[in-house]
Amino acid sequence: MPSPQKAIVIVTILVVASAGVYGYFSLRGEEEGQGGRETQVWWIASDPHVGYDRIEPTGALEVGIEDINEYIEKIEGVEVDCAILLGDLIHESSWYRGMFLRSMDNLNVENWYYVLGNHDFENPPWEDNLLPPVDTILNVMGMKWILISDHMGDTYDAPPEATGGTMPEDVKAWVVEQTLYSDEPVFVFSHQPPTQWKVWTEELQGLVKGSELRAWIYGHIHNWSANWFEDQTLILSDCSLDWANNYKGVFMFLEREDDTVNVTLRFRDHKNHEWIETPLAGEMVENISFSVEVA
């Protein structure tokens, strides 16, 4: 991926807890020139539902991977460094786990991360996760990125307590502390929409203003949606790779100079290999850009 003149240094410390996988990952971007300029490009995609289509189980995921490997990188010259998949990776059966992992092995990035969604559980009994639940922190250019998994399936005949997403109490306490009481800019990545998840209570929403929460990006709803919460936090839904053959994804372009990180989100139709417009607060936009200050 990066040329020999560029370096990516990754330090990983991982602690496994009973509720899931907690981790701290420090990622340094590609340095260019003498000014300490760093850049990274992240692919953010959701809901490939590998196995939902029994004829082509990995079809939608492969469309996204091919677009990155063969078009975005080779033709458009954009080097994608890392990826985050926002849940509903495997559709309700361990039968498809190997197919998902083999497909991801083909993605030409340095590292990829994931969270679990409500379909990433064996059906039945809805309590057996198909991959380890990951609740983790990535340190990206001085920002704190928090990844949160679903911890139980919640469709069809799932138990009532699972409806709307679940989160063990110790994980919830960790999320609240890391999200709302941080000294660093916070981005949250989850499968469930924050406004529909039980953890996103009115009490917690009241603490967002003045906090360091700058963005919450999620999947699940298979549609585009974006707005600013309290005029400071971007709430964005990734349209999804599959379900209705959407084949859509988001790319986050990061550029740090000194103590400022410039963030630009662009939106992609992987099937047609083109950048597209998406809605933001009722208007169609080609991208969403903002900046955050880091130490």
Q: What is the pLDDT of residue 169?
A: 81
The architecture of the domain spanning 10-31+38-252+270-289 is 4-Layer Sandwich (3.60)
User: pTM score, two decimals?
Assistant: 0.88
Q: Minimal CA–CA distance to 50: which of 12, 85, 77, 4?
A: 85
> For every residue of the chain, which 3-state class applies, written as one string?
CCCCCCCCCEEEEEEEECCEEEEEEEECCEEECCCCEEEEEEEEECCCCECCCCCCCCHHHHHHHHHHHHHHCCCCCCCCCEEEEECCCECCCHHHHHHHHHHHHCCCCCEEEEECCCCCECCCCCCCECCCCECEEEEECCEEEEEECCCCCCCCCCCHHHCCCCCCHHHHHHHHHHHHCCCCCEEEEECCCCCCCCCCCHHHHCCCCCCCEEEEEECCCCCCEEEEECCCEEEEECCCCCCCCCCEEEEEEEEEECCEEEEEEEEEECCCCEEECEEECCEEECEEEEEEECC
Q: What is the pLDDT of residue 19?
A: 35
Residues 6+ apart with CB under 8 A from 223: 237, 239, 240
Q: What is the pLDDT of residue 167?
A: 76
User: What are the structural domain ranges in the chain?
Assistant: 10-31+38-252+270-289
Q: What is the pLDDT of residue 243?
A: 72
Q: What is the pLDDT of residue 126?
A: 72
How far lies 272's CA from each of 72, 110, 247, 269, in Å?
Answer: 12, 25, 9, 6
Mean pLDDT by 10 residues, the chain (295 residues): 31 32 46 67 97 92 97 96 97 95 97 95 84 95 96 69 68 88 96 77 81 95 93 94 89 97 98 97 96 95
